[in-house]
Structure 1
Amino acid sequence: MKVHRWLLLTSLAASLLPALAIPSFRTKAKRNSSPFVQSDGTSFIVNGSKFRYVGTNAYWLPVLNTDEDIWNTLGNISAIGAKVIRTWAFNDVNAIPENGTWFQLVQNGTVSINEGPNGLQRLDTVIQMAQQRGLYVILSLTNNWFPQASTSGTGTSLRTRNGSPSVTLPRNYLSNDYGSDQFQYLRCSLIVVTGGMDMYVRQFGQNYHDQFYTDQNILNAFKNFTTQVVSRYVNNPAVFSWEIANDARCASTLPASSSCTTETVTQWHATIAEHILSIDPNHLVSSGTQGFMCTDCPKLYPLTPPPAPQPSPAPGTKKRSAPVTSRQILRKRSESRRLSREAALRRGTLPQNGVRVRGRWASTATRRQQSQGVGSSYDGSYGVDSQDIMNIPGIGFGTFQVFPDQDTYVPYDPNLSQYDNLVNQGVDWITSQAQSASAVGKPLIMTSFGLVTQANSADFVPFNMSTAIDPYGATNQQQIDAYSTWLNTSVSSNVAGMIQYQWGQMNLTAETGTTISPGLTGISPSPGTTGTTPSSTTTNTTQSSDTTGFSPNDGYSSNSNANGVQQVMSSTAQNIASD
């Protein structure tokens, strides 16, 4: 996740399903009877059956204040047909808080693990209850990001919403706050740092973000934490997989050193994957990257070309694709611009303020005028080569995220509306990721996808900032249509898992000094709504009660359009279950 995140707070499904056993999807062939999620080419297999799913992100589950809140949240997620939840398995501090959950103390180059009832036992509860609800859990072990908070003279972190008075947010309120410094518990004076790569770097006295990948002391500390967490669930089939890090890159709020390259990040993933598998051979390991590529970078794990001629694939399987190349990307973009221009001509909507070429108006620059670069998503600018990472032997499947309202995957097409550009960017990114995974021959999941709506824009705060931006965004119906398009594209492209970002939960138990604190100003249902399943038009900035609260919202919770989002997810879940 990068610079811009959009707010979509979700509400809950109306009813809870009874406790379920871990699901066993029906297929015909009993290829592998293991209860653990396995990979078979580009598919996942559980108990001999193909496992394809829709899921959601709820990174904040372990910090809820009561077991009942965890149980009810998982029930609402299960009720819409979701099968997998992605959550954070890290929660680090640089000072022990007075209240709330924390997993690890990282302070002045030393680390200490909290295995108590307000520590890793909270994660134990999430895993146990997920299993009872028939859900699998993807556990992410660290984060690339945290917000660069503005601070008052006392160090209190502030967030401003559309000119309204600044509000103090509790630690862990934002997903990217798992790594922030100078965030303060609401109504508490204790300032703590919550974990993430840059927190390790600072606490070990270093200066560059990528020293998290290369400094041996930091590497040992992260391996130690990884060992403590991974070893707890070696024999638990409710764990879907281990995610090494959310969106690892060369830089974050700390800059990258001049020596950080895609090979730096790839080698780190290989090292950590090998370490995890040495502890836990039962579960798959993934990277958690956004999917950024480097088509022309040197590879640590180059693809071996298939023998020529290739034999016909077995029935039910697909022939492996060629890797994504710069030439293919540019050719595809040129063809897309040509088709959109022809469509605009037929509609009579071709812009007349373009470039004059030989007496005719062109809606876009000519080929010679166009930059021939593939852009930052494909040129290694972020220090990530997801295809090289995916081809690491210890990496079990590929990952990517879809946030076209914060990342640019293809150049803007002036023949299309802003909304159509966003939707088409998502489609292009999904198909490119599917091609890359097919070339490697491993399953692929979309670990996050989201689009901000106008109803949520007032509370959207971009990454590493503390001030909301002016209202913008899609309508609720446009969000539903975009999600439907992206999910359908993923299904047709053989993406094995599709995880919405992110779930929102109302009516949670509030406790002073915790993530769910009483009196926190923020997005909640309009007065008179129940907080369970609000209509798609009932969202206001209001004051929560002293006894109940709502889940953290960093801009992608779906409360403002819960019915529509949940319906799209549920429909897709039903469709893939009947394939």
Structure 2
Amino acid sequence: MWSLLAVLLCELLALAGASSVKPSSPKGFVTQKNGQFELDGKPFNFVGANSYWLPLLTTTADVDATFKEMQSAGIKVLRTWGFNAINGSEVADALQSGLTYYQVWNSSDWVLNDGPQGLQRLDYVVNTAGKYGIKLILAFTNNWVGYGGMELYINWIAGAGNTHDVFYTNPKIVQSYQRYVSTIVNRYKNSPNIFAWEMMNEARCLGDLPSGPACVPGTELLTKWYQQQSNFIRSLDPFHMITTGGEGHFYWKDKNIGFWFDGVFNSDYNFNGQAGEDFDTDLTLPNVDFGTYHLYPQTWYPELDTPGSNFSIKDWGSFWIQAHATAAKKANKPVLLEEFGVTGLQNKTEIYSVWVDLALKTKHAGIFPWQFGMLGLKEDGGNRLIKYADAIIDGASPNDGFAIYKNQTAVWNIFTNVAKVQASRSG
């Protein structure tokens, strides 16, 4: 009897031990280990592309042509939106314009559009990426109003008069967000073409709506949301990586970092925790596999970036890159320079080479300029208004001042050369 009990006890202990070990990822899935990405057991470093507009194209030929262009530039990972939501009142116009949309809001819940003008377009992007050796980061929603961000959830579920950060705490909103996350994850979780899931693009305490007192430095509201949602996503998908999609704001409590402007000292939003992020802490969450950050000093410091000022876009960006590399090394996790941009062709040519060189020196696994530009698109004769001011003009993909096209040879070559360096560092 005792021997039988001993055998049963050993079996139970073995089962308990086995359940605590994460299963091996399927072939073709990217993982992270000791601060770097691995693909099938070999290092994986890359130049990536941002193209929110790719699933918004109406013809498969233009999608294929864009992937082919990315492949020729050495791009290995594409970041795009896994969301586009509209109000029910917008459906008629969307059908007429050919706008891709996945969610329709008419009440306190949304209806999925998985038809040929909906998720079938995203299906094509996901399925086609692998043909060109490219993997995808899919973001689940947007901090901003563009293309149906999180404030649609707030407006329809919580109602008018609420602050932006109610999205992170309202149980009905969290449940609705998770229902959409489940839809996307379950649709693609078996695909090796997915690089990672991204909880939100640029989550902050505030958006187009103001923040409230529940989301101020020290409350850790956004960190708690990242933890909750990354745990939820992991429960759906044990294999694909998960990240925040954040801009990389710090909460350096013991450092009063700021700048003087017009005789007044201003505490710096990027470091004082006011945005809601705490990059150092967020990166330590067990189901956040790697860090992301963005870089737009012209936009963030317009009062300083003026003629005659001693403010340097280039130097500030270098400081920001080094700060995130240091935090990632401490956490022993990879980091992506996931979005960055300056306006002006000369600025791009002079500054990007410095930034990407520093990113390489500090062992960034991935470098993603904002944004990829494509020429020669054919749909609607090469001219089509997509939404807002986003348009295809003379065959060129949307340009917000940051787009990089192949005919901008000096800038384009910066990234094709970096892609070769990253490839040499990979298996």
Please classify the TM superposition score into its range, dividing by the shorter chain length.
Answer: 0.7 to 0.9
Partner of 2:244: 287
Partner of 2:375: 506
Within the alignment, does 1:490 sit opposite 2:381 as a pair?
A: no
Whole-Å separation in 2 of the counterparts to 1:562 and 1:222: 40
In structure 2, relative to structure 1, the CA distance for the partners of 1:258 and 1:482 (3 Å cut) is same
Whole-Å separation in 2 of the counterparts to 1:515 and 1:89: 24
Within the alignment, does 1:278 sit opposite 2:277 as a pair?
A: no
In structure 2, relative to structure 1, the CA distance for the partners of 1:479 and 1:561 (3 Å cut) is farther
Partner of 1:360: none
Partner of 1:383: 276
Partner of 2:154: 201
Question: Per-residue deviation at 1:255?
Answer: 1.1
Question: Per-residue deviation at 1:516?
Answer: 3.4
Residue identity opposite 1:495 in structure 2: H
- Residue from 195, 201, 212 that aligns with 1:240: 195
- Residue from 40, 44, 55 that aligns with 2:33: 40
Which residues in structure 2 correspond to 1:163-174 (within 5 Å)? none
Which residues in structure 2 correspond to 1:305-344 (within 5 Å)? 326=255
In structure 2, relative to structure 1, the CA distance for the partners of 1:138 and 1:522 (3 Å cut) is closer
Whole-Å separation in 1 of the counterparts to 2:379 and 2:44: 37
Question: Per-residue deviation at 1:414?
Answer: 10
**Maintained 8 Å contact 2:374/2:406:** no
Which residues in structure 2 correspond to 1:166-245 (within 5 Å)? 177-178=146-147, 195-204=148-157, 205-206=159-160, 207-245=162-200
Question: Per-residue deviation at 1:385?
Answer: 1.2
**Maintained 8 Å contact 1:144/1:197:** yes
Deviations 1:10-38 (A, max 9, x none): xxxxxxxxxxxxxxxxxxxxx98842110
Question: Per-residue deviation at 1:562?
Answer: 2.6
Aligned-pair RMSD on alpha carbons? 3.0
Question: Per-residue deviation at 1:413?
Answer: 11
**Maintained 8 Å contact 1:516/1:550:** no
Partner of 2:77: 84
- Residue from 314, 323, 326 that aligns with 1:432: 323
Question: Per-residue deviation at 1:552?
Answer: 2.4
**Maintained 8 Å contact 2:199/2:230:** yes
Which residues in structure 2 correspond to 1:459-470 (within 5 Å)? none
**Maintained 8 Å contact 1:32/1:48:** no
Partner of 2:413: 567
Residue identity opposite 2:166 in structure 1: Q
In structure 2, relative to structure 1, the CA distance for the partners of 1:35 and 1:516 (3 Å cut) is same
Partner of 2:14: none
Whole-Å separation in 1 of the counterparts to 2:225 and 2:51: 26
Residue identity opposite 2:212 in structure 1: S
**Maintained 8 Å contact 1:241/1:284:** yes
In structure 2, relative to structure 1, the CA distance for the partners of 1:377 and 1:220 (3 Å cut) is same
Within the alignment, does 1:67 sit opposite 2:20 as a pair?
A: no
Question: Per-residue deviation at 1:557?
Answer: 1.3
Aligned to 1:202, what secondary structure does the other structure show?
helix
Unpaired stretches in structure 1, ≥5 consecutive residues: 1-30, 147-176, 179-194, 297-324, 334-363, 454-475, 525-543
Partner of 1:461: none
In structure 2, relative to structure 1, the CA distance for the partners of 1:67 and 1:414 (3 Å cut) is closer
TM-score by length of 2: 0.84
Question: Per-residue deviation at 1:394?
Answer: 0.9
Aligned to 1:400, what secondary structure does the other structure show?
strand
In structure 2, relative to structure 1, the CA distance for the partners of 1:523 and 1:140 (3 Å cut) is closer
Number of residue pairs matched by the alignment: 390
Whole-Å separation in 2 of the counterparts to 1:249 and 1:259: 12
Give 4+ residue runs of structure 1 displaced > 3 Å after superposition: 31-34, 408-418, 509-512, 514-518, 520-524
Question: Per-residue deviation at 1:560?
Answer: 9.0
Within the alignment, does 1:477 sit opposite 2:406 as a pair?
A: no
Deviations 1:265-301 (A, max 9, x none): 11111111111111111100000111101011xxxxx
**Maintained 8 Å contact 1:398/1:443:** yes
Deviations 1:59-109 (A, max 9, x none): 111110100000000110111111111100001111223242110112221
TM-score by length of 1: 0.63
In structure 2, relative to structure 1, the CA distance for the partners of 1:142 and 1:414 (3 Å cut) is same
Partner of 1:190: none
**Maintained 8 Å contact 2:298/2:305:** no
Aligned to 1:401, what secondary structure does the other structure show?
strand
Unpaired stretches in structure 2, ≥5 consecutive residues: 1-23
**Maintained 8 Å contact 2:241/2:289:** yes
Residue identity opposite 1:484 in structure 2: S
